[in-house]
Structure 1
Amino acid sequence: MMLRPIAYILGATALLASAAPACAQTGANADRAAVAQRLLDTLRETNGVPGMAAAVWQDGRIVWDGASGQRDRTSGAPVTRDTLFRLASVSKLLTVAAVMQLAEQGRIDPDAPVQRQLPWLDTRWPAITPRQIAAHVSGLPHYQAIDADRGSRHYATGRDAVAIFAGRDLLSPPGTAYSYSSWGYSLLGALVEDKAGRPFTDYVAKKVAPGLAIRADATDSGDPNASRAYGFDQRRVVDLPRHDFSYTWGGGGLSGTASAVASFGGRMIDGRVVRSDTFDAMLVPVKLADGKAAGAEDYEVGFGWRIGSDADGAPIVHHNGVALGARSTLGLWRGERTAVSLLSNASWVSRMEPTAQMIAAPFRAAPAGLVAAECPLAAQRYRGTFGDVAVEGAVRFRIEAGLCVGTADQHPAMLAYFGTAMQRSDAPLTIVGLDPKGGLSRAGIVNPFGIADLRAQADGSFAAPITTTRRLVLRFDQPGR
């Protein structure tokens, strides 16, 4: 069913000042953009990541393009709409699009052994197909201890990169187990390069994402728009050394802007990268030999894309990425013609997929069944549970530009839990309401791991899944009530 973007018409245009819109924002869309920008800014301030960007594509265009923080801490240069971030494993989505473009042209057979399609590939492996590789069921290994120095040299071709692992044993017989492998995508990139007759990164830029700011990793290239790459050392931001991704352009070596990545997702929805029926086929879960779908606990895997549903059961396809100096995600609600991207210039412990979904929430239809709740302006304390631990602490609420906004001090159990991450973990939790009338029926609760979906419950409490295994339930004590 097609859902129209009628949610959360918020009177918060003053918050738009820090946004970097792709086009002029007016009226209700400016209000939605302001809320998304507030969430993005609060997320970056909470986790300590130097720079982040996000974008939402809807019905054929970028409706919001947000930027926050710095792309270069030394110069103080800010993140803008033109900032290029490492895409990490979101690169895989462009790789499978390239494979299927060439398949539409009859130059690649996704179900024929890759050894037959690459006669130079001399290995002991049994026959494996591009489809098995794309779904991570080929048996190919991921990076191993022997690969610790990867990124220290440049590989001129995909064939040269494949030689790194071509002599290694498979982890399991092809088609029998799901085992994530970026080396497999190095092989797919080499296949694209061979059949297209041009370098992989050139083919992606010219044929898969023409006109979009997506290219080979630009970090340390001298490109003035490229973000620096950062990491964390005992929660301090540190510069990361140079890293050459030519060993796996197809597995995690591309860079792009947030709007370019969201626009690529939109083009996939519109059938402008591969035909719509081809994309349909890419979203059919790949079956293992035992009949089970390949994938993890909360998603199945098709031809590269992860297939699942959001918290309200809406179908979503997506992929996340993590690499040195990067954390990324792209998600598509295909039936709603909506795409969201979220990129950052540091690797950090995070829940990128649900975080991006919350940033996109102002542009989507409000879910059914929300419980009405007032902003608890008189509250001074909260109490509740964090997982199975009782928690309590100080909280304060206010109305900012029409929104219910709250700040809650972390309980020691929260500090201990979030403190396992490498990034900043001691910031207060910030609650940003999405109710157009300043209520608190639904909010994004920004925490060191991302943005969780906080919703009012029928019993007067508020609940959010902080992680897949840790649920937060809060009650706000208001004197005199």
Structure 2
Amino acid sequence: MRGSRAVALLVATMVAGVAAAAGPRSPYDIAFDDAMARYHLPGLAVGVIEDGRVVWTRTAGETVAGSGKPVTSRTLFKIASNSKAMTTALLARLVAAGKLRWDDPVTRHLPQFRMHDDWVTRNIEVQDLLVHNSGLREGAGDLMLWPEPNAFTRADILAGLAWLVPQHSFRSRYAYDNLLYVVAGEVAAAAGGAPYEDLVRREVFEPLGLARCRVGSWRSAEVDDVAQPHMRKDGRNVVINADAAIVPAITSAAAGGIRCSLGDMLAWARNWLAPDARQLAWLSAERRRELWTAHTPMPISGRRRDWDRTHAYAYGLGWRLADVDGTWTVSHTGTLSGMYSLLMLLPDRHAGFVVLINGDGDAARTMLGEVLLKHFTAPAERATIAGYAARVAAEPVTRGQAAPDVSVREPVAVDELRTRLGIWRDPWFGEAALCEEAGRVRFRAAKSPLLSGIVMRSLGRTLVAWDDVRVDAEAWIDLPADADEGMLKLAKVDPRADFSFDFEDLAFRRVRDCD
């Protein structure tokens, strides 16, 4: 035992000596450590590029909390909506090959494609699928994609789009959309003569050497280093939506279904910041400029004006374009339940960074991304995680944004809703049962099994309390007085809930009695 203590003391002394010789921590290390500690992240991977070279990488935490399996530069993360830029790169490759044009009508490649308005159906072009100007509500139809797992197919999406009523005029304004990226993936498949997943592997992953990126169905064992998504519960990080032995193909792949490692994402970033001759042969400078050309102006928030002094903000083809402190940036984020990503490029400086998180990382991504960005655009500010967190905490809550307190609730009596029980149908979402089960009224969506819960009363209204904690946006349920004539409608209880819970686009009509 005395010998073991002596060895341990020697090792500790050596480590301390190495740390002292290394000098003070870099700004990147400080920001990384602060983000991990403040936000209790299960895992984090970050890489920085300067002058076209990867100059710093760091990983910490675990792929599964408590497993002891460390996050590394090879660990796969869901990159979520950072998949969109890979989809547009695939389409650019098909444009370069003469297999489609950006201004092709979508119906040229998908004759079955329909929007709610016939004129829009005839005139919407391939590039319109990619720039969030369709006129649909933000996140319209996303309940066909999430929460996962569900039974919606790409054919369901193509059939359902015609029933989604636009909120604005076509091409009049920006509203983020995922379904049309799924359509874009089907356009690529039709033009490229192969499934979207095969095309991405062939046209993007393989030529760029993104060897660990995965899309479609694959076996977990063949990778054996995969970050699982987590949520915070009772002060701990808990895995949600864990992968099975065979990871299934998902409907949303073109919009947000790709997984890559930190090493892959840094290689992807360098391809845009400092392409070599081989990469320019893969995609020419002309095609690259097309992807980074502004199409749809985006609203500039007060925070962005205050923090970044942004004057121009727009969406290109799968990329967000903005000036930050006088520096041009090209970026995107990715958000899925329990997974967050950020890719930020500063093309004029051949610089950028990647952030990958496998937990509740919204705030962590925002603060860490801002601190890393300021290192390039405003180093004199000496930005810190704590400083930006304090600025967020000081922001006033706008009236109408605060979530109502619905903690006091009770189940609605079955007899109170007896005349309105039955099977209800929405034309794009399908059937949902509002039926008695074990003395309670329950709502069950036929194609989205996680959307199941007890109907409760709170604040004089009825809401659905979902059974599964992964569904973190409860819904008001408004029932008609006459079940045979009126519509059943849903709406988010918390107006700040993720826009992908597009309950407001649902309009159910009763079709039959409970089974």
TM-score, normalised on structure 2? Answer: 0.60
Letter in 2 for 1:232: R
Letter in 2 for 1:111: D
Q: Is 1:191–2:195 an aligned residue pair?
A: no
Q: How many residues align?
A: 353
- 1:78-477 to structure 2, matched below 5 A, reads 78-125=70-117, 126=120, 127-141=123-137, 142-144=139-141, 146-147=143-144, 150-153=147-150, 158-159=154-155, 162-163=158-159, 165=161, 167-210=163-206, 211-212=209-210, 213-216=212-215, 221-222=220-221, 223-233=223-233, 235-242=235-242, 246-271=250-275, 272=279, 274-287=283-296, 293-297=297-301, 298=304, 299-310=313-324, 312-350=325-363, 352=365, 355-359=368-372, 364=376, 367=379, 370=380, 442-447=381-386, 452=388, 466=392, 469=395
Q: Are the counterparts in 2 of residues 230 and 237 from structure 1 also a CA contact under 8 Å?
A: yes
Q: Are the counterparts in 2 of residues 355 and 452 from structure 1 also a CA contact under 8 Å?
A: no
- In structure 1, the partner of 2:38 is 46
Cα deviation for residue 467 of structure 1 reads: 7.8
Q: Are the counterparts in 1 of residues 102 and 126 from structure 2 also a CA contact under 8 Å?
A: yes
Q: Are the counterparts in 1 of residues 47 and 57 from structure 2 also a CA contact under 8 Å?
A: yes
SS at match of 2:165: coil
SS at match of 1:100: helix
Cα deviation for residue 130 of structure 1 reads: 2.4
Letter in 2 for 1:349: D
SS at match of 2:384: strand
Q: Are the counterparts in 2 of residues 209 and 264 from structure 1 also a CA contact under 8 Å?
A: no
Cα distance change on mapping 1:315 and 1:78 into 2, 3 Å: same
Distance in 1, matches of 2:328 and 2:317, equals 16
Q: Which moved more, 1:113-122 or 1:336-345?
A: 113-122
Cα deviation for residue 206 of structure 1 reads: 2.7
Q: Which moved more, 1:139-148 or 1:38-47?
A: 139-148
Cα deviation for residue 163 of structure 1 reads: 4.1
Letter in 1 for 2:257: G
Mind listing any 5+ residue stretches in structure 1 that lack a counterpart? 1-13, 19-26, 288-292, 371-441, 454-463, 471-481
SS at match of 1:318: strand
Cα deviation for residue 78 of structure 1 reads: 0.8
Distance in 2, matches of 1:50 and 1:218, equals 25
- Identity rate of aligned residues, in percent? 22
Mind listing any 5+ residue stretches in structure 2 that lack a counterpart? 1-14, 305-312, 397-515
Cα deviation for residue 276 of structure 1 reads: 1.9
Q: Are the counterparts in 2 of residues 154 and 247 from structure 1 also a CA contact under 8 Å?
A: no
Cα distance change on mapping 1:82 and 1:31 into 2, 3 Å: farther
Cα distance change on mapping 1:16 and 1:137 into 2, 3 Å: farther
Cα deviation for residue 121 of structure 1 reads: 2.3
The structure with more radius of gyration:
2
Cα distance change on mapping 1:59 and 1:445 into 2, 3 Å: closer
Distance in 2, matches of 1:51 and 1:295, equals 32
Distance in 2, matches of 1:467 and 1:100, equals 42
Distance in 2, matches of 1:75 and 1:351, equals 22
Letter in 1 for 2:320: R
SS at match of 2:31: helix
SS at match of 1:216: coil
Cα deviation, 1:54-84, whole Å, max 9, x if unaligned, reads 1123344322221011112242111111111
- In structure 2, the partner of 1:431 is none
Distance in 1, matches of 2:384 and 2:261, equals 26
SS at match of 2:318: coil
- In structure 2, the partner of 1:380 is none
Cα deviation, 1:294-336, whole Å, max 9, x if unaligned, reads 45435211222111122x3211111111111211110110011
- In structure 2, the partner of 1:411 is none
SS at match of 2:220: coil
Distance in 2, matches of 1:64 and 1:41, equals 14
Letter in 1 for 2:318: G
Q: Are the counterparts in 1 of residues 106 and 126 from structure 2 also a CA contact under 8 Å?
A: yes
Letter in 1 for 2:347: R
Cα distance change on mapping 1:336 and 1:261 into 2, 3 Å: same
Distance in 1, matches of 2:293 and 2:17, equals 40
Distance in 1, matches of 2:16 and 2:315, equals 38
Letter in 2 for 1:58: E
Letter in 2 for 1:341: V
Letter in 1 for 2:88: V
Letter in 1 for 2:130: A
Distance in 1, matches of 2:385 and 2:216, equals 30
Q: Are the counterparts in 1 of residues 109 and 190 from structure 2 also a CA contact under 8 Å?
A: no
Letter in 2 for 1:355: L
Letter in 2 for 1:304: G
Distance in 2, matches of 1:196 and 1:260, equals 24
Cα distance change on mapping 1:323 and 1:76 into 2, 3 Å: same
Cα deviation for residue 268 of structure 1 reads: 2.0
Cα distance change on mapping 1:276 and 1:345 into 2, 3 Å: same
CA-atom RMSD in angstroms: 3.5
Cα distance change on mapping 1:221 and 1:173 into 2, 3 Å: farther
Cα deviation for residue 180 of structure 1 reads: 0.6
Letter in 1 for 2:200: V
Q: Are the counterparts in 1 of residues 116 and 161 from structure 2 also a CA contact under 8 Å?
A: no
Letter in 2 for 1:114: V
Higher normalized helix content (fraction of residues): 2
Q: Which moved more, 1:88-97 or 1:260-269?
A: 260-269
TM-score, normalised on structure 1? Answer: 0.64
- In structure 2, the partner of 1:410 is none
